[in-house]
A and B are shown apart, each in its own frame.
Chain A
Amino acid sequence: MLLSTDQFIANESFRRWVLENNPQDAQFWVQWIQDHPEQAHTVDQAKHLLRVLYEAFDQASSVELEQEAIRLEEALYSPTVHPFRRISIWMSLAASLLLIVGISWYMLQERKPMPSVAIVPKEILEERVNGTNHPLVVTLIDGSSVILQPKSRISYQFSKQRREVFLTGEAFFEVAKNPGRPFYVYAEDLVTKVLGTSFTIKSCTKKVEVIVKTGRVSVFLKQELAKHQQDASLKGLILTPQEQVILQAQQLTRHTISIKQLSTIIQPTSFSFKRTPISEVFDKLEKVYGIKISYDHERMKNCYLTATLTDEPLVEKLNLICQTIDAEFEQTNTEIRIHSQGCL
């Protein structure tokens, strides 16, 4: 009895083999094909057809899926405040979503007999150093925020084509989305290119760790940088949510980490508010960003906020808050000042 292409395409095990490369199914089918050589052509046909058409239909991007997942959660958990149409508009304002990607790179001792030096930029750059023992927030001119940890330093230069930051130590980045000007972070031998995400980079002498909380990141080694810049189709290593890559002894291994595990590693603070008094909201911002916010407590005592602001750069968070409570903010060198008539 000869099986038809149709029958293969509808078979779960066959599909798992072709689409997911499942090892048990692979074992079965490789053997089966050996035992039924007369079907080899049909199998081949089915395989090819299935793969090509499946990929053609597979259009939902992981970014979209996360966006919609959050949208549903919002609607389920706070139904009275956000009618879903408004969420839809809000989502298009939000620059980033909850994709979590982790990468760890290990620098090999043998390859680096000297202490490694970060790529030295040629022009004069803006530089910020955190010599204090608490986090320091740096706002870049494109609206991105960098939370610089103690004993860390960043220097940065923005040109028309790109935004570049050089990091020593540890920092948490909230990058404003701008596809026309990709954001590069250079830390040790690792270059991270981002389009609009939030992530943490820790660079120590032996190990560079990039943990991306939202968005998508492509990573490559410093020595490959020139190659990548010339050939735009080279994407470096792109990771999907919950994956971690370790470079060790020149071998790349991929791991999966649970979302729970990752959420304890980076920014355990969430900015999710439900009818929260505005004083609490500002207190939280002050604590996480290490800034001072001054506002009229008496006038604003009736102001409450219901919103989820995680992963926005600080400036964007302030914008969203002020829009919601109908206020304005002003940024000076030493503090943020909120102007408001109060809330009804």
Chain B
Amino acid sequence: MERRHNLQKKNQHLVELWQLAKSGDKQAFCQLAESQRPILINYATSFTKDRELSKDLIQDLFLNIWENRQSLNINVVTIYLLQALRNRLLDHLRIRDRVTELEEDDAFFVDDFVIESNLIEEEHFSQTRQSIRQALAQLPLRQQEVLFLKFYQGLDLERIAEVMSISRQSVANHQHRALNSLKTLLVRYALPFFILYLIF
């Protein structure tokens, strides 16, 4: 399939913006940031539900990239940003929670924050989406991360492994466990129609 080709096309555009940014074009950089921001904000929910923290770290990341733009080389923009944000989140949370991370097991980060509800967003929540989000939030964070990178971002096994700095096999394991856990959790929310689709 033409999967690779299309990924390259998207990235091509982002790299062009990045080249402009490198030479000082603030508007190009802002456009770049705007296009990637939804991905990053949504990605961060696999690490913490503290929305303000996520946004602060993303802001930090962008400013840092801007300040160091001349010495930075970025080939695949989205992957780079995901990795960079991941590192920041882990560093910050590690310091905050003093938990060491174990990639091979399903590591838990203590996360005290309840899923934030934005008043405006709530208006558009359907019952099903709410239930699925709640179920997802109960999965170990590494599993959430794999599901995000796979379904939301559409990355394949290799790319996911690259972002998470783990092996392809670990990714496959996380995914397998994640979908099984989801199945179990969703029984609770009585969404049998959805469970059917998880059987593969």
A53's nearest neighbour on chain B, judged by CB, is B151
List B contacts of A71 (CB < 8 A).
59
Q: Are A52 and B132 in contact (CB under 8 A)?
A: yes
Chain B residues within 8 Å of A57, by CB: 42, 45, 136, 147-148, 151-152
Minimum Cβ distance to chain A for residue B127 (Å): 11
Binary B-proximity of A206-223 (CB < 8 A = 1, otherwise 0): 000000000010000000
Q: Is A49 an interface residue (CB 8 A)?
A: yes
Other-chain contact of B197, A10, A12, A45, A73 (Cβ < 8 Å): A45
What does the 1/0 interface line of B38-75 toward A look like (CB < 8 Å)? 10011001000001100110111011001000000000
Q: What residues on B are CB-neighbors of A64 within 8 Å? A: 41, 51, 55, 118
A53 to B183, CA, bound (A): 13
Bitwise interface map of A from 232 to 276 toward B, beta carbon under 8 Å scored 1, else 0: 000100000000000000000000000000000000000000000
Min CB gap A95→B, angstroms:
13
Given contacts A58-B42, A63-B120, contact A53 B132 (CB under 8 A): yes
B23 within 8 Å of A by Cβ?
A: no
Q: How far is the CA of A179 from the CA of B122 in the complex (A)?
A: 13
| Shortest distance between the CB of A34 and any CB in chain B (Å) | 18
Contact (Cβ within 8 A) B2 A13? yes
Interface residues of B in 52-100 (CB under 8 A from A): 52, 55-56, 58-60, 62-63, 66
B41 & A56 in contact (Cβ 8 Å cutoff): no
Which B-chain residue is minimally distant from A91 (CB atoms)? B55
A63 touching B151, Cβ below 8 Å: no
Q: Given the complex, which residues of A lie within 8 Å of B30, measured CB to CB?
A: 69, 72-73, 76
CB-CB < 8 A to A45: which residues of B? 197, 200
Q: Is the interface of B mostly helix, strand, loop or mixed?
A: helix
Number of interface residues of A (CB under 8 A): 41
Question: Which residues of B have CB within 8 Å of A4?
Answer: 200
Knowing A68-B58, A71-B59, say if A61 contacts B198 (CB, 8 Å): no
B114 within 8 A of A: no
A15, B10: Cα distance in complex, Å: 14
Given A49-B198, A75-B59, A13 and B6 touching (CB < 8 A)? yes
Least CB distance from B178 to A in Å reads 10
User: How many Å from the CB of B54 to the closest CB on chain A?
Assistant: 10
**Chain B contacts for A69, CB-based, 8 A:** 30, 33-34, 37
CB within 8 Å for A235 and B41 given contacts A54-B151, A64-B118: no
Asked whether any CB of chain A lies closer than 8 Å to the CB of B188, the reply is no
- Check B132 against A63 for contact (C-beta < 8 Å): no
Q: Is A26 an interface residue (CB 8 A)?
A: no
Q: Are B62 and A52 in contact (CB under 8 A)?
A: no
Complex CA–CA separation, A50 to B132 (angstroms)? 13
B29 — nearest CB in chain A belongs to which residue? A76
When distances are taken between beta carbons in the complex, the residues of chain A under 8 Å from B3 are 10-12
Q: A318 interface residue, CB < 8 Å from B?
A: no
For residue B159, give the distance in angstroms from its CB to the closest CB of chain A. 9
Q: Which residue of B lies closest to A7 (CB)?
A: B1
Q: Which residue of B lies closest to A69 (CB)?
A: B34
- Smallest CB gap from A216: residue in B: B120
Q: Are A60 and B37 in contact (CB under 8 A)?
A: yes
Which residues from B are CB-within-8-Å of A48? 194, 197
Name the residue on B nearest A77 (C-beta). B26
A116 interface hit (Cβ, 8 Å): no
Give bound CA distance, A64 to B38, whole Å. Answer: 9
**Is there an interface contact between A13 and B1, defined as CB atoms closer than 8 Å?**
yes
Asked if A108 is at the interface (CB within 8 A of a chain B CB), the reply is no
Any A CB within 8 A of the CB of B128: yes
A19 shortest CB reach to chain B, Å: 9
Nearest residue, chain A, Cβ from B9: A12
Structural contact, A12 and B129, CB atoms closer than 8 A: no
For this complex, 9 residue pairs linking A to B, each with C-beta atoms less than 8 Å apart, are A10-B156, A11-B154, A13-B2, A13-B6, A59-B133, A61-B118, A69-B30, A76-B29, A179-B119
B interface residue numbers (CB < 8 A to A): 1-3, 6-7, 26, 29-30, 33-34, 37-38, 41-42, 45, 51-52, 55-56, 58-60, 62-63, 66, 118-121, 123-124, 128-129, 132-133, 136, 147-148, 150-152, 154-156, 194, 197-198, 200
